[in-house]
Chains A and B, each alone.
Chain A
């Protein structure tokens, strides 16, 4: 167990280093980063000037070492658009993204898991069939379209919820719910099939044979053992939500990292794009690390040789 933890931490460390290399190479993908950063009407003096200022006239490995050294200090250069440190701008937007990701995650867990469990308990019933039908349908609906439709219904038609911006719970409820739907449906389906599988196990039959109360069997024996694989999925979902609510942020003009990146892309503000990709990818790696460690703790049967 101890060696597994160390191995996994080292692996995560290397992944973050690789993230840095990829973020660095992003700008060099088309050949000359200066041509990407400047407008098409820039003169050749402008280009030479920019190249010198940004250090692009140096060999690639020199550039990388310089990038790596400043990245370690959290310095990803200044935003071309705002003239402020890019990472600071991204971090400023991060709480908004975190708020929405956690909200969506909460909706998915609080609604998806109980509904999935109930469907499994009542396997084959009308309730079960309706549940399956709804989850199948929800998984086919693009979340950003659901977001637009909910704006049309709740903001335009009923006029009860604000259609954009961040503020109180009224601002928060539509974007968080829209971002959660896919994960919610998938979680409900997984919970259901996981539960059904656990209920067929010998230890459940033993518990029944002992004459235990059915509620105790379900809540203690079945639910606890179904939880383990679900933890992995939950971790992945949280990671995806943190890095993937871009479109929902754009639809609701939510002032998060995703919307900042989209703005930065249209302004060719690459230090911001690099900072955001680095921040999100590192967060993703760290969440995966924590999930794996939690998984090893929850399920001691698995050997990590």
Chain B
């Protein structure tokens, strides 16, 4: 019998020992990528953006900090005789394409770190709260209610205003709100998981709480965590851009997409490119992240549609 192991066409396949197995949700997800064009598009976008961030010094045509006022606000495809400025220059004569490419670094760093931080905290709180229940659960869930009942942006602004803007502050402030979303979903999953036979079984043979939580429950709640993470990556990037736009993000001269927009807004009447391209960069990146998020949700756990 020949079984197509490469493309896992059917949910059932034979493994290396000749046992009939059902392909896991993860394998199904990867296989579905071939059919789902928009998901594939999303994955490609994210790959390109990540590559831009990692390879910024290599692929940037110029130094993003090199100023020359005599070439300020030149339009895209302008040439100074030596080379062509593909996306033009900004008000200080800096190469705009290079600044845009370097800008991916801050957006992605803040996005990924914030998602990782919120995911870990939310996962841990959800696991503990759902598994142990009782007073621990009560305290954590009131904390969640408290966080959810605050208008996030104003509190974030006030905090940054007092503590002062920096990359770390930015990531922490953005994470204040989002961890509760993981915590709530994970807790709900754990509540139903802990009553299932395999958990009861593990308990009856004397497994420790730590072992049950990490060996038996954790693998079953990873799917929602990854779905929320991919959906919120895009939101995080937009929030970071917004805070940078208000001058409360990573301080200049580090190029950030929000910062480029804020610099460009002053020159709105004369230079369309300085406001158009940073916004396009944000939109494309967030689109990629959203498409990947939608795809993961559809294959891994369609119940989470309201996120």
Residues of chain A having any CB pair with chain B under 8 Å: 11, 15, 18-19, 22, 26-27, 29-30, 36, 136-137, 139-142, 144-146, 148-149, 151-152, 156, 190, 193, 229, 233, 239-240, 242-244, 246-247, 250-251, 258, 261-262, 265, 270, 273-274, 276-277, 280-281, 284-285, 288
Contacts and interface: CB of A to CB of B under 8 A. Distances in A.
A261 B275 CA distance: 24
Contact of A142 (B150, B157, B238): B238
B contact residues, range = 35 or more
A148 B238 CA distance: 15
A171 B248 CA distance: 27
Nearest to A289: B149
B268 A148 contact: yes
A151 B268 contact: yes
A19 B150 contact: yes
16 contacts: A15-B146, A15-B149, A26-B158, A139-B234, A140-B234, A140-B286, A141-B286, A142-B286, A145-B241, A148-B265, A233-B306, A244-B152, A246-B246, A265-B157, A277-B155, A281-B149
A280 B246 contact: no
Interface of B: 38, 145-146, 148-155, 157-159, 161-163, 234, 238, 241-242, 245-246, 248, 261, 265, 268-269, 272, 275-276, 278-279, 282-284, 286-287, 290-291, 294, 305-306
Contact of B283 (A142, A276, A285): A142
A247 B161 contact: no
A258 B158 CA distance: 11
A246 B150 CA distance: 15
Kindly list the 5 A-B residue pairs having the minimum CB-CB distance in the complex, ordered from nearest: A243-B151, A145-B279, A140-B287, A265-B161, A140-B286
B149 to A, nearest CB: 5
A26 B145 CA distance: 20
A136 B152 CA distance: 24
Nearest to B272: A152
A261 B276 CA distance: 27
A11 B265 CA distance: 44
Contacts of A11: 145
Contact of B154 (A15, A18, A280): A280
B154 A281 contact: yes
A142 B279 contact: yes
B154 A261 contact: yes
A142 B162 contact: no
Contacts of B153: 243-244, 246
B283 to A, nearest CB: 5
Contact of B265 (A30, A244, A251, A285): A251
Given A247-B245, A281-B150, 20 more contacts: A15-B146, A19-B150, A36-B162, A136-B287, A136-B294, A140-B290, A142-B241, A142-B286, A144-B245, A146-B279, A148-B279, A149-B279, A156-B268, A190-B306, A240-B151, A261-B154, A273-B161, A277-B154, A280-B151, A284-B151
Contacts of B290: 136, 139-140
B268 A152 contact: yes
Contacts of A281: 149-151, 154-155
A229 B279 CA distance: 33
A146 B241 CA distance: 13
A11 B261 CA distance: 42
B269 to A, nearest CB: 6
B269 A30 contact: no
Contact of A193 (B241, B265, B283, B305): B305
B149 A285 contact: yes
B198 to A, nearest CB: 30
Given A239-B151, A281-B150, A288-B149, A246 B157 contact: yes
A284 B246 contact: no
Contacts of A239: 151
Given A240-B151, A244-B151, A244-B152, A148 B163 contact: no
Nearest to A229: B306
Contacts of B161: 265, 273
B158 A273 contact: yes
Contacts of B261: 144-145, 148
Nearest to A196: B305
Contact of B246 (A22, A36, A145, A262): A262
A137 B154 contact: no
A156 B271 CA distance: 11
B181 to A, nearest CB: 12
Contacts of B150: 19, 22, 281, 284
